Amino acid sequence: MLDEVTNTSKLFDQARERLSLAAEYLTIDPDVLQKLRYPKETLSVCLLVRMDDGSRRSFKAFRCRYDDTRGPTKGGIRYHPAVNIDEVMTLAFLMTFKCAVANLPYGGAKGGISVDANQLSRSELERLSRAYVKAFAHFIGPERDIPAPDMYTNSMVMGWMADEYSAMVGQPSPAVITGKPLELGGSLGREDATGRGGYLALRHLESDLHLVPEKSRVILQGFGNVAYHCARLLHGDGYKIVGVSDSRGAIYDPDGMDPIAIMEHKRSVGTVSGAPTNGTCKEMDNSELLEQDCDVLIPAALEGAITNQNAHKIVAKIIVELANGPVAPEADEILDKKGIIVIPDILANCGGVTVSYFEWVQNKAGFYWDLEEIHRRLESIIVPETRHVWSIKTEKQVDMRTAAYILALDRISSAIAAHGTKDYFAS
Ligand code: NAD
C-alpha cells in the first residue's frame, strides 16, 4: 500500500512504526507526530554526466532533509544501484533519531545516487560526484545540510565534493561536508569512530548484561571498516572473536581468532575465507554464521540481515547493530521473546556521526584536536547516552530500541515546543 502523501511503501512505513511505539510512552503533542510523519523536503534530480567514451549518461540522484528542528541536517551520500527515494527517506528518518540519541545539534538527512560505482572509471566517478554537488548546492550547506560518506562513497569522494562546493561559493568551505581527507580538514579518529562507538556502548553495559570479556564469544557479520575496528578493540580487551564474514564467505572457530591477522589476510586475498585462526576453523555460508553459538552477535553489513526467517535460530544473548537496520521490525518481537537484548543502530553506530560532528566543529573553529581529545570526547557522549537509554529501558520496561526512540523523540519534541507557535498564529 502506498502512502497517499509521500508515495512511500513498506520500508519507510516500518521505520515510522517505531516512532509510534515510542510515542505511547510519552505525553506528546499530536502536532509533533504530524511534523515527524513526513520529511521536511526531498529533492530528486537527474544528473547528466559525460562518460570517458564521449557519450552522456543520466543517473537518478536524491537528497532528503527529514527534520531540522534540532539543527542543520546531517547524513551520508550512498552510491548503489538500489538507491531509491524510499530508502533515502527511511535513512534520513533514522539519522534524525540517531543525532537526537547522541544529543548532537543536528537534524537528519540522507542522499544517494542510483549507480554501480564499480562500473565507473575514476574520472567518471569524479564528474558524477561534482554533478551531484552542482545539482544540490542550494539544498546543502555548512549551516543547512551537511553530507558525509556512506556505502560506496569515501574520503576521496568527499574531497571532490568539498572542492566543487568551495569553487561554487567562491571560498574554501570545509564545513559543508564531513569524512574529508585529513589534508582538506578531515578529523583524526573518523576511520574507527563507528566501531569504537559500538565497542564503548557494549563495554559500558557489561555488568548490566552480565558479560565477562574473557568468557564472551563474539561473531561479526560484514568484516569491513566498522566491524574490523570494533573486533580489534574488543579482542584487545579480552573478548574472543569466534566468527567473521564478508560478502564472499564466513569463518567460525570456537578457539578464537586475531582480527588483525584476519584483516591482513582479507586485504591480501579479498576475503576472510581461508584466514588463519587459533584452532579448527570451519568455513561456511555467510548467512549460516549468524546462527552459530556465541554471546555477542554484531551485524555490520547490510539492512535486513535478521528477519522473521532466521530470528528464531539466533543463539546470541546480545546483538549490537553496527549496520543500519540489520534487524527487520518483524524480527524484533521474536528476539525479544527469546530474551535477546538488541543494542539498536541509532545508539550502537552513532559514533560515526559523532566524530563527523567533531569534524564540522573543528572546521568551523579552524582549530584541530589530537586523537586523544577525539577519543575522550567520543567516550563522553557514548557512555552517558548509553546509560540514558538503559535507564529508560529499565524504568519503562521496554526493549532498548524503544528506549532509544523514546529518548530521541522526547528531545525532538522538546525542541519543536521550544521553537514556539509562530506558524499557528501565522495561519
Ligand atoms: P564496508 O564496505 O567497509 O564493509 C562492509 C562489509 O560487509 C564488507 O566486508 C562486505 O564484504 C560485507 N558484506 C556485504 N554483504 C554481506 C553479506 N551478505 N554477508 C556478510 N558480509 C557482507 O562498510 P562499513 O563502513 O564497515 O559499513 C558497514 C555498515 O555499517 C553499513 O551498513 C553502513 O551503513 C553502517 N554504518 C557505517 C558507518 C561508518 O562510519 N562507516 C556509520 C554508521 C553505520
Q: Is the pLDDT of residue 276 over 70?
A: yes
Question: Which CATH code, of 3.40.50.11540, 3.30.930.10, 3.40.50.10860, 3.40.640.10, is assigned to 40-177?
Answer: 3.40.50.10860
Q: What digits encode the pLDDT tens for the residues 6-51?
A: 445 678 888 888 888 899 999 988 888 889 999 999 999 999 999 9
> What is the atom index within ligand 1 of the atom nearest the CA of 287?
19
Q: Which residues are registered as beta bridge partners of 173?
A: none
Q: CB burial class (10 A; 0-12, 13-18, 19+) of residue 7?
A: exposed
What per-residue confidence (pLDDT) applies to 222? 95
Distance between Cα 263 and ligand 1 center (Å): 14
Q: Are 18 and 333 in contact (CB under 8 A)?
A: no
Q: Which candidate, 391, 424, 382, places its Cα nearest to that of 410?
A: 391
Q: What digits encode the pLDDT tens for the residues 170-227?
A: 999 999 999 999 999 999 999 999 999 999 999 999 999 999 999 999 999 999 999 9
Q: What digits encode the pLDDT tens for the residues 226-250?
A: 999 999 999 999 999 999 999 999 9
Which residues contact residue 350 at a Cβ distance below 8 angstroms, ignoring those fewer than 6 apart?
98, 99, 101, 102, 197, 382, 385
Protein residue closest via CA to atom 18 of ligand 1: 247
Pocket lining: 79 vs ligand 1, CB cutoff 6 Å: no
Q: Which candidate, 177, 193, 249, 187, places its Cα nearest to that of 225?
A: 193
Pocket lining: 225 vs ligand 1, CB cutoff 6 Å: yes
Residues recognised as catalytic: 110
Pocket lining: 290 vs ligand 1, CB cutoff 6 Å: no
Q: Are 49 and 16 in contact (CB under 8 A)?
A: no
Distance between Cα 112 and ligand 1 center (Å): 16
Pocket lining: 151 vs ligand 1, CB cutoff 6 Å: yes
CA 378 – CA 259 distance, rounded (Å): 23
Pocket lining: 121 vs ligand 1, CB cutoff 6 Å: no
What per-residue confidence (pLDDT) applies to 9? 62
Q: What digits encode the pLDDT tens for the residues 337-379?
A: 999 999 999 999 999 999 999 999 999 999 999 999 999 999 9
> What is the atom index within ligand 1 of the atom nearest the CA of 322?
30
CA 176 – CA 320 distance, rounded (Å): 31
Q: Band of the pLDDT at 1, cuts 50, 70, 90?
A: very low
419 vs 312, which has greater pLDDT?
312
Protein residue closest via CA to atom 31 of ligand 1: 323
Q: Which candidate, 79, 73, 165, 41, places its Cα nearest to that of 353?
A: 73
pLDDT averaged over every residue in the chain = 94
What per-residue confidence (pLDDT) applies to 423? 58
Protein residue closest via CA to atom 17 of ligand 1: 247
Protein residue closest via CA to atom 7 of ligand 1: 222
Q: What digits encode the pLDDT tens for the residues 311-333?
A: 999 999 999 999 999 999 899 99
Q: Which amino acid is at 420?
A: G
Domain definitions of the chain by residue range: 40-177, 193-348
Distance between Cα 338 and ligand 1 center (Å): 26
CA 424 – CA 245 distance, rounded (Å): 53
Pocket lining: 349 vs ligand 1, CB cutoff 6 Å: yes
Mean of pLDDT values over 134-139: 98
**Half-sphere exposure for 150 (CA within 13 Å, toward CB):** 24
193-348 carries CATH number 3.40.50.720: yes
Q: Which of 194, 251, 252, 306 to mutate to test the pocket of ligand 1 (most atoms within 8 A of CB)?
A: 194
CA 52 – CA 55 distance, rounded (Å): 7
Convert the chain into a string of H (helix), E (strand) and C (coil).
CCCCCCCCCHHHHHHHHHHHHHHCCCCCCHHHHHHHHCCCEEEEEEEEEECCCCCEEEEEEEEEEEECCCCCEEEEEEECCCCCHHHHHHHHHHHHHHHHHCCCCCEEEEEEECCCHHHCCHHHHHHHHHHHHHHHCCCCECCCEEEEECCCCCHHHHHHHHHHHHHHHCCCCHHHCCCCCHHHCCCCCCCCHHHHHHHHHHHHCHHHHCCCHHHCEEEEECCCHHHHHHHHHHHHCCCEEEEEEECCEEEEEEEEECHHHHHHHHHHHCCCCCCCCCCCCEEECHHHHCCCCCCEEEECCCCCCECCCCHHHCCCCEEECCCCCCECHHHHHHHHHCCCEEECHHHHCCHHHHHHHHHHHHHHHCCCCCHHHHHHHHHHHHHHHHHHHHHHHHHHCCCHHHHHHHHHHHHHHHHHHHCCCHHHHHC
Q: Are 33 and 344 in contact (CB under 8 A)?
A: no
Distance between Cα 116 and ligand 1 center (Å): 16
Q: CB burial class (10 A; 0-12, 13-18, 19+) of residue 115?
A: buried
Pocket lining: 69 vs ligand 1, CB cutoff 6 Å: no
Distance between Cα 299 and ligand 1 center (Å): 9
* Range of weakest confidence among 8-22, 145-159, 290-304: 8-22
Protein residue closest via CA to atom 33 of ligand 1: 323
User: Are both 40-177 and 193-348 of the same fold?
Assistant: yes
Percent of the chain past pLDDT 70, that is, above it, reads 96
113 vs 419, which has greater pLDDT?
113
Q: Are 201 and 345 in contact (CB under 8 A)?
A: no
Pocket lining: 194 vs ligand 1, CB cutoff 6 Å: yes
